[in-house]
Every structure is written in structure tokens, then in C-alpha cells.
Structure 1
């Protein structure tokens, strides 16, 4: 059972308001090591500079979307095992199937609650302490 404070999280979303909401939810759960990026390209660079244990990424972003980011992470050996939760306003089955095909660990639909966020993270890491 990992402690939330021991998990480094990268939040990637082109909307600052969503990044702040996710950060606030993570902090309520007990996460302290949280960084964010405004798009997939910046997220990938941040991850390569300093790997995280978990990426929570929006699907629909400029430059590099969530699926592109997921594919880039899964194809780069040093970071390929990084947990990945896709965050989107679209609960579209085609998108979910493609994300699963590329190795997504979980899926979170906006709007979300802190309890749902925690459950999705625990679906990746197991119960948090």
C-alpha cells in the first residue's frame, strides 16, 4: 500500500482551471509531489526531465493530445511503466477502447469528485495509506 505522499504525479491539461481542480483533489487525498503541464508536449518533456509515478492527462489538448502522450510514454523504455489515467469530458467508447489498446491504466470522466479521483488512482496503485 503506497502512501499518497510518496507518489509523484504529473497533471497534464490545457485548461489551468482543470489542472488546479485536479491538484486540489490530489492534495485532499494526501499527495504532495504534484507538477503540471499545459499540453502533451510539455508533459512529455517534464516526464523525461523528472519521471513521475502517475500521469493524469486530459485527452483533448493542442500540440500532443492525451492518446499521443500515452503512446509516447509507452514507447519510451525508462518511463513506459508510468501509471496513466486519461481525463476527459468524453465518455466515448471508441476513445476508451483506443486508450486501453495503448495501455491506459484507468479513465476519469469530467466532472469528477475527489472520491472518484481517489478510486481511480487506487485502481492503478491499490489502496492508498
Structure 2
């Protein structure tokens, strides 16, 4: 599940994931809608932007980690800046990894492989 309020960024991330061989990629422009969707139909990985209106990436991460069914879902946080406070808060909430935008597909692959092991 790709979560970002900017449609163009969702498309970039979705295409990067598909280029890495991940075929089933869903996306959402809203963290709240994404949370509802993954509660209805679980996913293995959430790639979420930090800075979004209404519910930010940290709030989404917290909601996922507090949900007994979803808490083990892999979560990679994206942000436009390497704000140390955000990184520390995400780490405290149990983020699996962190990626600063803009990023190369190779960097995304590296983060995913840290969580799941080598992609085939």
C-alpha cells in the first residue's frame, strides 16, 4: 500500500515497486482511507509519506502498530526532509525503515530488502 497525498508521488512509488517485481500495488491519497483499506484487506508493506493533511504518516504508523492484526505489517516512512525529530518519533513507534525523497528505485529496493530479504 502506497500512501501519499500527491498523486504524482504515488505513481512514482507504485512504478518503482512494480519495477522491483511487486505486482500487486494499491495506493491511497489519504492515510485514514489507507488504514480503513488495510484493515479490510491486509497488506504486507506500507510505504507512506510523512507529511499529509488530516492524518500524517506518524499517526498512520501509530494506528498500525496499535492494531493487533496489523502491528507486524512492514512500514517504510517517506519524507521530503531528514528531520531528526520525525526519524526519532518513527523509530520509537516501530517503523521498519525510513527513506528521504527524492529517492532512486535502488534505494527503495535496499530498504525493502532490509525488511523482507533479497527480492527475486
1:29 aligns with 2:5: no
Shift of 1:123: 1.1
1:99 aligns with 2:90: yes
1:15 aligns with 2:6: yes
Give the alignment of 1:1-129 within 5 angstroms. Answer: 10-129=1-120
Moved over 3 A (4+): none
TM-score (norm 1): 0.91
SS at match of 1:32: coil
Shift of 1:35: 0.3
SS at match of 2:69: helix
TM-score (norm 2): 0.98
Shift of 1:30: 0.4
Structure 1 residue runs of 5 or longer lacking an equivalent are: 1-9
Give the aligned length. Answer: 120
Structure 2 residue runs of 5 or longer lacking an equivalent are: none
Superposed CA deviations along residues 77-122 of structure 1, whole A, max 9, x for unmatched, are: 0111000000110101111000000000000110000100100111
Superposed CA deviations along residues 53-80 of structure 1, whole A, max 9, x for unmatched, are: 0000000111210000000000000111
Larger RCO (CA within 8 A; separation ≥ 6): 1
CA distance in 2, matches of 1:12, 1:30: 19
